[in-house]
Amino acid sequence: MSTLKKNFSYKSFTIFNKLNNKVLLKVDNQFPQHFYPNSIVDYANIIKEIVSGKTKNYPIVSLTVKDYPFCDFRCQDCLVKESREWAKKNINNLVLDIDKYKKILKDISTYSKENGVENVRIEFCGEGNPDLYVYRKEIIKYASQKCNMKIIYVSTGSGLTDDDLTELVLNASFIRISFPGIDHITYNLFSNQKHVKYTYEDSLNTLRKIVSLRKQYNRECDLLIGVRACIREEFSELYEDFIYELDKIGIDCVQLAKVFKYNDNSPTKISTKLKSILKKIADSKYKHLKQVQVPTRYNSSSDDRKLRNNSFNICFSALFNPVLYGDHLIVCTQTDKIIDKQFHYGKLNGKVNEVSQLYNNEVSNEIRKQLPLCCNDCCAVYDNVLLNKIYDILYENKENIDNIKFMMEE
Ligand code: SF4
Ligand code: SF4
């Protein structure tokens, strides 16, 4: 079965003991696009290697890269504005030169390979518009072809040339286009561009080109194409048409997300009317769309990311999914961690073996001991809760660990 079909047809993840077929955990495979092209089984296998002692160090499984903190849009709800302004003042090498950048990626992939991960997932995303980084094509090609990384690319697409699109389609695993608005008027309004250069129609056309290139290069089985947009109460009536338009184009998935602003203690409420629209959208059957992801809890104004309601002991995000921001390696994408240097593992210079040293030294261990104790809310709360459950089960069955198996079911 193709990677794409597999990830979207599996409905649940199970841990069982093969000696007596006893099911130790069964959970929904709710958001396959989240880990794509990996699945929760990949993470479970890595934890198994660590608990059994076969792997000594925690590999970097997924790296989020913030390599271009400048943007052509001025979105009203830009979630990274605060960390971007902080980074401009506090990180010297925000835009890496290409040689150093390549060496850093090479060292990360070598380190992870030595610790059991052949294909590091790398997510190029914005604290700005990654399309505008002058070496974008080169770094994508290098990460994919020389480091065997699995590329996730997230942007508005406003700065992608036809050549960039071709390179992306040839090398990426997942391309996700962000929509600041969901029709012509709201796109202009919320992207807040100085002189509107890139419109809603342009963005739909970029998606059409990506879909057509995917077909041309025979990548329909494994290249996932998605869209992300914010949920805004005042434009409730526009969402159904927006989703219908995207389905017609032939993309695979859509994520409709609430706006989570840093330090915002009173996020906007979602009305009953919008809740029912979102539910209808998520439950509908589409010609092409395999999944429309909406917030899991309709009864709260925001998904609950508070740690007091979702407790876990180990922050697997800090262990498996760090952030490379310029040349700084940071524990996670949460704004309060980016803007506080005590949560930066340190700087990378592109020297051989430096990731291994930086990731496993006393300073990094001390940082991890504070996590999640010092966190009030968590950007990866559901992943962390699930990975901790997997860890606990494996640890409880340590003596018998070879008989513990994982399975995805349709
Ligand atoms: S496109 Fe993204 S980074 Fe740029 S202003 Fe909008 S939200 Fe912020
Ligand atoms: S917010 Fe805290 S617990 Fe959550 S991923 Fe970041 S460091 Fe880990």
> Residues 209-247: pLDDT tens digits?
999 999 999 999 999 999 999 988 889 999 999 999 999
Helix axes 200-216, 239-249, angle to 10 degrees: 30
Report the DSSP beta bridge partners of residue 151. 122, 172
Rounded Cα gap, residues 408 and 410, in angstroms:
7
Which ligand is the nearest neighbour of the Cα of 76?
1
How does pLDDT run across 68-83, given as a tens digit for each residue?
A: 999 999 998 888 999 9
pLDDT value of position 30: 67
Residue 303's pLDDT band (cuts 50, 70, 90) = low
DSSP 306: B
Atom of ligand 1 minimally distant from the CA of 80? 8
How does pLDDT run across 106-120, given as a tens digit for each residue?
A: 999 999 999 999 999
How does pLDDT run across 250-287, given as a tens digit for each residue?
A: 999 999 987 666 666 666 677 888 889 999 999 999 99
Residues with CB under 6 A from ligand 1: 71, 73-75, 78, 80, 126, 128-129, 156, 180
Residue of 307, 314, 332 to mutate, ligand 2, most atoms within 8 A of C-beta:
332
**How many angstroms does the Cα of residue 130 sit away from the middle of ligand 1?**
10
Which structure tokens are listed for 161? 């040339």
- Find, among 122, 135, 110, the residue nearest to 350 by Cα: 110
pLDDT value of position 83: 95
How does pLDDT run across 357-389, given as a tens digit for each residue?
A: 999 999 999 999 999 999 988 888 888 999 999
- Find, among 394, 401, 400, the residue nearest to 25 by Cα: 394
Give the CATH number of domain 58-400; options: 3.40.50.10440, 3.30.200.20, 3.20.20.70, 1.10.8.80: 3.20.20.70
pLDDT value of position 378: 87
Atom of ligand 2 minimally distant from the CA of 317? 5
Residues with CB under 6 A from ligand 2: 315, 317-318, 331-332, 334, 337, 371-372, 375, 378-380, 384
CA distances from 106 to 131, 140, 260, 263, 321 (A): 22, 13, 34, 36, 17
CA-nearest residue, atom 4 of ligand 2: 378
10 Å CB burial of residue 56 (0-12, 13-18, 19+) is exposed
How does pLDDT run across 77-101, given as a tens digit for each residue?
A: 888 999 999 999 999 999 999 999 9
What value does the mean pLDDT of the chain take?
92
Contacts from 364-367 at CB under 8 Å and sequence distance 24+?
A: 367/318, 367/331, 367/342, 367/343
Residue type at 270 in one-letter notation: I
